[in-house]
Amino acid sequence: MVEHFEFAIDRLKTPIGELQIVTDGQGNLRTIDWTEHEERMRLLLDRYYGKGRYTLRPSRDPGGLTRAMRDYFSGNLAIVDTLPVETTGTPFQRSVWRMLRTIPHGTTITYAQLAARIGSPRAIRAAGLANGQNPISIVVPCHRVIGSDGTLTGYGGGLPRKKWLLEHEGAL
């Protein structure tokens, strides 16, 4: 029997655009993305769970996670560290995503540092690609990774949002 996933989806208006928040029945975040990137979000869900093998049901504040994200945008930065996440992906991707969650708000690291922290210092490009495939924006803080020269590079939500998030967290 093919497994079918039931996910809840909610939307949240933020100072930098509207977020889509997708959770599972156990209250874990499965994905967060900007509404103008809904197609990308659905492609990731198709890749990780199988096309036609999941349902997105509109829900208001599933598991309190929409409220938690609202709190983050209101200044409670540490709340994202407490939110439960559940991801699929390769073991390498999951190792990168776990490491991202250890970067404290208000700080940044480089892609080279990210690769070194997962024990693969030569895998800078692979770590960068895994960072870019992160399905849970903000909570798995891929925006805290910057170029080796200190420039803001690569954020799926766009560099202006990355800059805003880093300023909001006190990293810039």
- 143 neighbors 134 (Cβ within 8 angstroms): no
- 9 neighbors 46 (Cβ within 8 angstroms): no
Helix, strand, or coil (residue 117): helix
**Residue 34: in which H helix or E strand, if any?**
strand 29-34
Calpha distance 134→48 (Å, rounded): 12
Among residues 45, 139, 142, 165, the one annotated as catalytic is 142
**170 catalytically annotated:** no
- 152 neighbors 163 (Cβ within 8 angstroms): yes
- Measured on CA atoms in the order 145, 159, 43, 27, is the torsion positive or negative? positive
Report the catalytic residues.
142
